[in-house]
Amino acid sequence: MNKAEAFVEKHQLAASTYAKVVSFGRKVGLTDKMTVGISVVNEKVKFVDQRLQVSDKIMVAFTTAEKKLNDTGSTVKSSRYVIAGAAWFSGAFTKVAKAGQVVDPKTREKF
């Protein structure tokens, strides 16, 4: 890899390649053509968006999806099964933490 980098630097391949690409771009008018092409595409996108109201439909879809997620979240939070499971997990975690506190002093005494 070092030999390849040294060869590239010695012959200035990166700089000469860049210069050739820039020169070709200027001869062909590549930058201008790309700018015009991008403008045309942007105008077409705006036209289609206005005609088909894509942006409005997407916003409605996102709003509906967000509402569904909120409703689902509320349902899950108020579910007695979820509440019971959370209470069980909390109780189990508390018991493990207490057991750890009891074991900790005994472990210190051994060492």
For 63, the enclosing helix (H) or strand (E) is: helix 54-78
For the beta carbon of residue 24, count every other beta carbon within 10 angstroms.
Answer: 10
H or E stretch at 79: none
Q: Is 25 in the same domain as 43?
A: yes
Which tens digits make up the pLDDT trace of 21-40?
Answer: 888 878 888 778 888 888 88
In this prediction the pTM is 0.36
Give yes or no: residues 38 and 92 share one domain.
Answer: no
Same structural domain, 85 and 98: yes
Dihedral angle over CA of 66, 68, 69, 74, nearest 10? 130
Whether 84 and 64 share a structural domain: no
**How far is it, in rounded angstroms, from Cα 18 to Cα 41?**
28
Same domain? For 13 and 44 the reply is yes
- Domain hosting 47: range is 2-78
**Quick one: 33 and 67 in the same domain?**
yes
User: pLDDT, tens digit, for every residue of 67-83?
Assistant: 887 777 777 667 777 77
